[in-house]
Amino acid sequence: MLKSIIEYQDYRQYILDYYTERKRCSAFTWREFAKLAGFASGSYLKLVSDGKTRLVEEGAKKTAIAMGLLGFEYDYFMLLVQYENAKNDQQKKKYFEQIQEITSAHKVKLLGSDSYAYYESWLHSVVRELAPNMPGAKPLEIAKAIRIPVTAAEISDSLNFLTKNKFLTIDENGNYHQSDKLLTTGRLNFVSIPVHSLIRQMGEFALQAFDDLSISERFFSGLTMGVTEKSYNQVMEELKECRRKIFAIVSAEDEVEKICRLNVQLFPLTKTIKKQSTEDPSSSEV
């Protein structure tokens, strides 16, 4: 039985599930599906579902109609397409809010909506780590322990959010505990927007730390280097492995003395360099 489109975060997955359900009940083919949607290529929707190409607005409209989507389901499908095709986080956030309106109106919990709110503010991640390690502490005490200025009211709001959404639990003595040691966004498409915002916020705090903390309290280092596509990908994998090892080190400790943030950044400073052949007659020495 095919689920309602509003239970999906990925329009490609819905297209695949729609096709699979039709195929189960009949001799339905990708070619027939494409023809129903008005595409000249019989394999087009198969390529879309495989992530090898994407729908644009007109194609999305035809595909939604071919799948029999009407009313709010049609609107929801179109929003999923628009969300993926959005050029920046601001546009993505606009479409996400419209998606939330539809799911809320039909009493469907949007998978990852609590995680979205969690990553929207840097404070939640800090309080989630700090509160369990300050047994019996009041919001004002927790606020004073954070280097970035925050109020007791903001800490209270964060604690309420974290307990309500089960990021933290609270025992009979009023002490907080983490529900899970590790949080991951997994494959939650919508969470990428606030995660980007969180990374920007933490980048700003890193600049403050650079100015405010002594060298013995911080570590800032960098390396400008020339790479190939192969070595770049190898470095990326090494950084991922390093991150896993660092988490293993800190998670092995039962006690916490302070909350830190690790930013690992690797990005190109130039476009891909196109080399000219040494035999190219258009090249010359100066």
pTM over 0.75: no
Whole-angstrom CA distances from 141 to 34, 40, 94, 153 are: 62, 66, 37, 12
Question: Domain spans of the chain?
Answer: 5-106, 117-218
Rounded distance, CA 215 to CA 209, Å?
Answer: 10
CA distances from 42 to 35, 45, 222 (A): 7, 8, 50
pLDDT given for residue 284 in this prediction? 41
Sequence-distant (6+) residues with CB within 8 A of 73 are: 4, 5, 6
**Biggest CA-to-CA distance, the chain:** 81
What top-level class would CATH report for the domain 117-218?
mainly alpha
3-state secondary structure of 176: strand
pLDDT at residue 282, rounded to an integer = 45
Q: Which amino acid is at 176?
A: Y
Coil vs helix vs strand at 10: coil
Contact 90, 110 (CB under 8 A): no
Alpha-carbon separation of residue 30 from 27, 54, 64, 104, 156 (angstroms): 10, 16, 15, 33, 54
Q: Which of 32, 54, 50, 52 is nearest to 41 (CA)?
A: 32
pLDDT at position 111:
55
CATH number of 5-106: 2.60.120, 3.40.190, 3.30.70, 1.10.260? 1.10.260
**What confidence score (pLDDT) does residue 276 get?**
65
Cα–Cα dist 120/153, whole Å: 18
- Digit-by-digit pLDDT tens for the chain (286 residues) are 788 898 888 999 999 999 999 998 899 999 999 999 999 999 999 999 999 999 999 999 999 999 999 999 999 999 999 999 999 888 988 998 898 889 888 877 665 667 778 888 899 999 999 999 999 999 999 999 999 999 999 999 999 999 998 899 999 999 999 987 766 555 456 667 777 888 888 999 999 999 999 999 998 988 999 999 999 999 999 998 998 899 889 888 888 899 999 988 888 988 888 766 555 544 444 3
pLDDT at 49: 95
Q: DSSP alpha helices (H): ranges in 29-151?
A: 30-37, 44-49, 57-66, 71-85, 89-105, 113-120, 122-130, 139-145
